[in-house]
């Protein structure tokens, strides 16, 4: 798959679910999500969103966190470059400056 910056691969649905469950049940991660006043998202190695805090949801106007889970940050933020290449967010020539 064509990419100009980061690898295009994504986690399988099963791996993504397992990582989301782990993050959601980790008291340190949950504590950070609740303590952070700014936008915060927990990502996996493939840059997919596992968890977000309330500030992230409010800033993006997302009512249900499940709308953002599994996406890459640029996809959730509706970055104009997120879909330039099949690799999605992180693959275009603009991504190194994000």
User: Helices 27-35 and 13-24: crossing angle, nearest 10°?
Assistant: 70
Q: What is the pLDDT of residues 44-94, one digit of tens each?
A: 999 999 999 999 999 999 999 999 999 999 999 999 988 888 888 888 888
Q: What is the pLDDT of residues 11-41, one digit of tens each?
A: 999 999 999 999 999 999 999 999 998 999 9
Q: Residue 3: what pLDDT?
A: 62
Q: Residue 90: what pLDDT?
A: 85
State CA 6 to chain mean position distance. Answer: 14
User: Pick the residue with more confidence: 87 or 2?
Assistant: 87
Round to whole Å and give the CA distance between 18 and 3.
27
């Amino acid at each position: 798959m064509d990419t100009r910056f980061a690898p295009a691969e994504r986690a399988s649905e099963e791996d993504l679910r397992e990582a989301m469950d782990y993050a959601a049940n980790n008291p340190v991660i949950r504590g950070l999500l609740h303590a952070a006043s700014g936008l915060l998202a927990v990502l996996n190695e493939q840059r997919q969103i596992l968890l977000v805090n309330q500030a992230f949801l409010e800033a993006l106007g997302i009512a249900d966190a499940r709308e953002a889970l599994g996406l890459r940050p640029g996809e959730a933020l509706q970055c104009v470059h997120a879909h330039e290449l099949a690799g999605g967010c992180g693959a275009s020539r603009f991504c190194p400056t994000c």
